[in-house]
A and B are shown apart, each in its own frame.
Chain A
C-alpha cells in the first residue's frame, strides 16, 4: 500500500500542495483526477522522489519510502520522453539495466514486453522513426520493463489512439490484478470512470474527495430517478412533491425531495400496469468532479 501523508509543496509563494493525503491500495487501480495545475504532477513526482516535498511523507507498506523502494516503481511522467535516436530495444534494455537487471535478463524482459505491446517488428528502429502511437507504446515499455511493483502513471492515456488506450487499460488492469498499487492521473474522466476502483480528486493543491468509486457515487448520488413504463407516463407530473425534468412517452426523468413521493410514483406505476424499469439516475464522474471542485 502506498500512502501519501500530509504532503505540502511550495513553489516560491505559491502553495502547490496543501496537506495532501491519500492511499493507493494493493491491487487497486486508483484514478487521480484534477484540472491543470491542480497538483497532480507535483504529487506524483514527490511520490517518485524526483521532487522533494516541503512537508509530509510517503510510505510504502507502512515504512518510510527509500531510494531502493522507488527503483521498484514504474513511472510514466506526464511529459513523455525517450532518447529519440536510440533504438527501441536498446533503450528499453538500458532502462532495465539501470534498475539493476543483468544484461541477459534485461533483454529478455524488454523483448517480452515490447512484443506484448505490439512492437515486436520495430525493436531495432530508432524511437524518432516510430509513429506517435508506437512511441507511446515504447513509453509504456520504459515504465514497465523493470517489472515494477508499484505503478505511478501521469496521464497514461493522453495522446493515445483508441487502440493504444485499450492496450494501456489492459496492462494497468493486469498489473493491479497481480497485486500492485496503481496510481494514474487523467483528464479523460470517462476512462477513469470505466477503469478505476478508487478515486482521488484534487483541486488547487487540496484533496477534495477520495474513496472507492462506488462509495463516491453513493455519496454524491443524485435525487433524480428514471421511470420507464409500457404506457404513457404523463401522470407522473400530477404526483405531489415531484418535478418532472424530462418526459417522452413511457419514459420520465423526475426529481423528488422525499423518499415518500418517490415511493408514491413507483406504487402508482405498478398500479397502472407494466413497469419496465425504475432506477436512480447514474451520477457520472464528471458530475461528481464538478460538484467537489466548486
Chain B
C-alpha cells in the first residue's frame, strides 16, 4: 500500500475498500452461517428426512382415508328416505320424527340426519350454509343435519344437493384444534431446538477453534451475534416454508381437502410470534453456549434453555382443551408463539390479546438479547472452565 509510506495518514482511498458498517459485518456473518449449513451433510439429511416424513404422512392419510370401513349411517325422517338411495353409499336408518333422529345422532348411532327442510326449519337448527336451500329443485326439499359440524360429505353424497344444518355449533372441530395446536407446537419446538442448537454449536465452534479472536478484531460481538441469529432464522424459516409447501402440494395432489380455511389469521399470528420468539431463544442459546469452550459441554449448558422451550410445548399439547391453561400459556413468552395462535384459531382471544402478548414477547426478547449479548461478549475470550453466568453478566 502506498499509504504505508505516509504513516501519519492511514486512510485507504480505493474503490476496492470501504469502511465496513454494522450491517456489512452482520450480513457477512449471516451469509456464512447459511452457506455453511446448506453445505453440511447433516443439515441436508435432516431436512430430507423431515420432508420425507411429511410426504409419507400425507400419502398415508390419503390411503387410509380412502378405505373408510362400511357405509355411512344416516337417520332419515319421514319422506326424506326417498333421497337416500343405495348408490350414494349411505345406509338409511328410519326415524319416527326429528326428535328420535336427533337422539340417534347424539348417541353416535348415525353420522347425520336427513330430514325434510320444512320440519328442520321449525326445529330451529343452525343453518350451516344459508341460502343453499333453493338448490334442491328436483324432488323433495331436504336438509342434512350434523351434530357439531356441517355434514358436507354426506350432503354431497346425495343425488340432490340439500342444505345442511348443525345441532350444537362448535367454533372448530376439536380434533382439528388438537392438530393445529400440535402443528404449531411441533414447528416451533422443532425449529427452536434445531436452529437453537445450531447456533449454540456454531458459537462454541468459533470459541473452540479460537477463530473468534480473529473475528472480534474485525467485528463486534454484537455484529457476530446478530449475524448468527439472522442466518439461522433465515434457515429456520426456509425449512418451515419448504415443509409447509410440500405438505400443501402433497395434500392437493392426493386430492385431500386442505383444512386451511379457518387457519389464515392464526397462521399469520404464528409467523409474527415465531420470528420474535425465535430471536429471543437464539440469543439465549448463543449466550449460554458462549460460557463453555468445548463442543462436548454445549448440551449440558443449553439444557435449561431447551427446557424453557420443551415444557410450554407439552403444556400446550396436553392442555389445548383447557381454556385457563391455554390463556396463561398464551401470555408466557416461551409458550406464547404456540399458545396465542391456537387461541386465535379457537376464536377464544379478543382482538387485542395477541397484540398485548406480542408486546410482552418482544419486550422479553429485547431483554434476552441485551443480557445474551453481554454474556456472549464477556465469555467469548475466556477459555477453559465454564464461565459462571453471573460473572459473565458482570464482565
Contact = CB atoms under 8 A, between A and B. Distances in A.
B10 A94 contact: no
A168 interface: no
Contacts of A83: 36, 205-206, 209, 211
Contact of A149 (B4, B36, B210, B211): B4
Which has the most chain B C-beta neighbours within 10 Å: A50, A73, A95, A101? A50
Contacts of B206: 81, 83
Contacts, number: 98
A176 to B, nearest CB: 10
B241 to A, nearest CB: 27
Nearest to A12: B391
B96 to A, nearest CB: 77
A86 B210 CA distance: 14
Interface in A80-126: 80-86, 94-95, 97-102, 104-105
B1 A149 contact: yes
B8 interface: yes
A75 interface: yes
A77 interface: yes
A202 interface: no
B112 to A, nearest CB: 61
Interface string B294-327: 0000000000000000000000000000000000
A80 B210 CA distance: 6
A69 B19 CA distance: 10
Given A97-B28, A100-B19, A61 B8 contact: yes
B217 A100 contact: no
A157 to B, nearest CB: 17
Contacts of A82: 209, 211, 214
Contact of A99 (B7, B36, B218, B381): B218
Given A71-B218, A77-B214, A149-B1, A26 B17 contact: no
A72 interface: yes
Contacts of B213: 45, 50, 75, 77, 79, 81
Given A50-B216, A70-B217, A179-B7, A104 B16 contact: yes
A105 B210 contact: no
A48 interface: yes
Contacts of A67: 220
Nearest to A71: B218
Interface string B1-34: 1011101101010111111100011001100100
A142 interface: yes
Interface residues of A, number: 44
B214 A75 contact: yes
B248 interface: no
> Chain B, interface size: which category?
35 or more
Interface in A20-41: 26
A24 to B, nearest CB: 12
A147 B219 CA distance: 17
A48 B4 CA distance: 19
A84 B209 contact: yes
A180 interface: yes
A77 B210 contact: yes
B209 A149 contact: no
Contacts of B215: 98
Contact of A101 (B17, B25, B210, B217): B17
A205 B216 CA distance: 24
B212 interface: yes
A82 B211 CA distance: 5
B217 A48 contact: yes
Contact of A49 (B15, B25, B205, B217): B217
A52 B211 CA distance: 19
Given A97-B28, A98-B28, A102-B18, A26 B214 contact: no
A268 to B, nearest CB: 53
B62 interface: no
Contacts of A105: 14, 16-17
A143 B19 CA distance: 18
A98 B14 CA distance: 16
B1 A94 contact: no
A180 B15 CA distance: 22
A14 to B, nearest CB: 14
B214 A99 contact: no
Interface string A212-236: 0000000000000000000000000
B16 A102 contact: yes
A178 interface: yes
A84 B360 CA distance: 41
Nearest to B383: A79
Interface of B: 1, 3-5, 7-8, 10, 12, 14-20, 24-25, 28-29, 32, 36, 205-206, 209-220, 381, 383
22 contacts: A61-B8, A69-B10, A71-B20, A72-B10, A75-B213, A77-B210, A77-B213, A79-B210, A81-B206, A81-B210, A81-B212, A81-B213, A83-B206, A84-B209, A85-B36, A95-B214, A98-B218, A104-B16, A143-B214, A146-B218, A149-B10, A179-B5
- Top 8 A-B pairs ranked by shortest CB distance? A81-B210, A105-B16, A79-B210, A100-B20, A77-B213, A81-B209, A81-B211, A75-B217
Given A79-B213, A98-B20, A99-B218, 18 more contacts: A26-B7, A50-B381, A51-B381, A61-B8, A70-B217, A72-B12, A79-B383, A81-B212, A83-B211, A85-B36, A94-B32, A99-B20, A100-B20, A149-B3, A149-B7, A178-B1, A178-B5, A180-B4
